[in-house]
Amino acid sequence: MKRTRTFLADGRELFYFAADDEAVPAPPDPRDLPAVSTASQLRWDPLLGEWVMMATHRQNRTFMPARNDCPLCPSSEGRHTEIPAPGYAVAIFENRFPSLSTEARLDGVEVRHPLVEVRPGFGRCEVVCFTSDHHARFADLSPSRARLVIDALADRTTELSTLDGVEQVFCFESRGKEIGVTLPHPHGQIYAYPFVTPRTRRMLEVARHHRERTGRDLHRDILTAERQSGVRLIAETAHWVAFVPAAARWPVEVHVYPLRKVRTIADLGDAERDDFTTLYLDLLVRLDRLYGDPLPYISAWHQAPACDDEELSHLHLQLFSIRRSADKLKYLAGSESGMGAFITDVLPEDVASRLREV
């Protein structure tokens, strides 16, 4: 893989990723851009014991622009975007409207609450452009291009993890206007958090309790149970397994695990990365065939945080959708939003069976 580093007009980093034999044009960014906001802050929620990110400048972020105004398409003569090059394979750059920033600072913030700690919103947010093709889906990528995306995520995970103060790196894709996507161009994001996220912290606590109670690894036990049962299994390859979890919260939910326990995407070997792209591309096609229409989804990589010295984590991907039928969405109503107690309308075994059939 070839990586080319350059900068945008306001100082943000931009990386081009390409195959070793590809040329990578990296022209300068000719735009006159304002400085990126550094006003992000963190506030401690004393009721839940969680950090809340506040970034008021994101109210003005780009929202569903017309095709000709897409900021993620390559630049062309007379139209300059976030990608100055006339074409690219994979491009990753610092978000212009970040929830977290390495330059964050507190200016004149007065919360005046003894239980609510306030910190600068330190961290980093990056945008991952999977392809220069505005109308493509991740599922449309060739195996070699999909593998390039995985290699790029591994590269960024490694580099962002070295930033002093970063505790967890989260790579994800949100797809579909139903999910809340504001840019239709195929892309994902990376968040480098200065804390361990609530969901990861909870999974670590449960895994620790399971080890103390049984002496075994929770993720290993889940994998063993799903593989032996087979009723929720979608696919298994030499290095990966994909299944619908037995207690799925979402109408469509698939977990994808490497059979070898590793901490991060960067720890995957070449054969594992190749094998993943084959399985994942097949899975995405199946998901889009489920209702005969592109499925809105969130595809979330769960990587080990820096503090996991007990090796409780197991790298895996959780992909889920709010679509519960061809013409209905699953909204988070009173029980889910108010109490965090999920109610699902579809049995996991039925979803797995349909995904195998399509």
64-82 burial string, b = 16+ CB within 10 Å, else e? eeeeeebebbbbeeeeebb
Q: Over 90: is that where the pLDDT of 332 sits?
A: yes
Instruction: Domains for the chain: give ranges and CATH numbers.
Output: 2-195 (3.30.428.10), 199-357 (3.30.428.10)
pLDDT at 108: 85
**Residue 118 binned pLDDT confidence (cut-offs 50, 70, 90):** very high
- CB contact at 8 A, 73 and 132: yes
Per-residue pLDDT reduced to its tens digit, 41-72: 999 999 999 999 999 999 989 889 988 999 99
239 marked as part of a ligand binding site: no
Average pLDDT over residues 209-238: 98
307 marked as part of a ligand binding site: no
pLDDT at 63: 87
Q: Over 90: is that where the pLDDT of 241 sits?
A: yes
Q: Show Cβ contacts of residue 277 under 8 Å, excluding neighbours closer than 6 positions.
A: 143, 146, 147, 150
Taking each helix axis as running N to C, give the angle between helix 218-229 and helix 198-214, from 0 to 180 degrees, rounded to the nearest 10: 80
- Alpha carbons 327 and 291: distance in angstroms, whole number: 9
Known catalytic residues are 187
- CB contact at 8 A, 293 and 358: no
- Alpha carbons 167 and 123: distance in angstroms, whole number: 9
Average pLDDT over residues 93-110: 94
- Alpha carbons 145 and 328: distance in angstroms, whole number: 33
Average pLDDT in the chain: 97
Per-residue pLDDT reduced to its tens digit, 289-329: 999 999 999 999 999 999 999 999 999 999 999 999 999 99
Residue with tokens 């970034």: 55
185 marked as part of a ligand binding site: yes
Q: Over 90: is that where the pLDDT of 14 sits?
A: yes
125 marked as part of a ligand binding site: no
pLDDT at 67: 87
> And the tokens for 322?
């709010």
- Alpha carbons 358 and 109: distance in angstroms, whole number: 54
Average pLDDT over residues 137-162: 98
pLDDT at 65: 92
- CB contact at 8 A, 24 and 11: no
**What is the percentage of the chain residues whose pLDDT exceeds 70?**
100
- Alpha carbons 245 and 240: distance in angstroms, whole number: 15
pTM: 0.97
Per-residue pLDDT reduced to its tens digit, 260-288: 999 999 999 999 999 999 999 999 999 99
Q: Over 90: is that where the pLDDT of 151 sits?
A: yes
Sheet containing strand 50-54, edge to edge, reads 50-54, 41-45, 118-120
Give just the sign of the alpha carbon dihedral 61, 63, 65, 70: positive
**Residue 227 binned pLDDT confidence (cut-offs 50, 70, 90):** very high
pLDDT at 107: 86
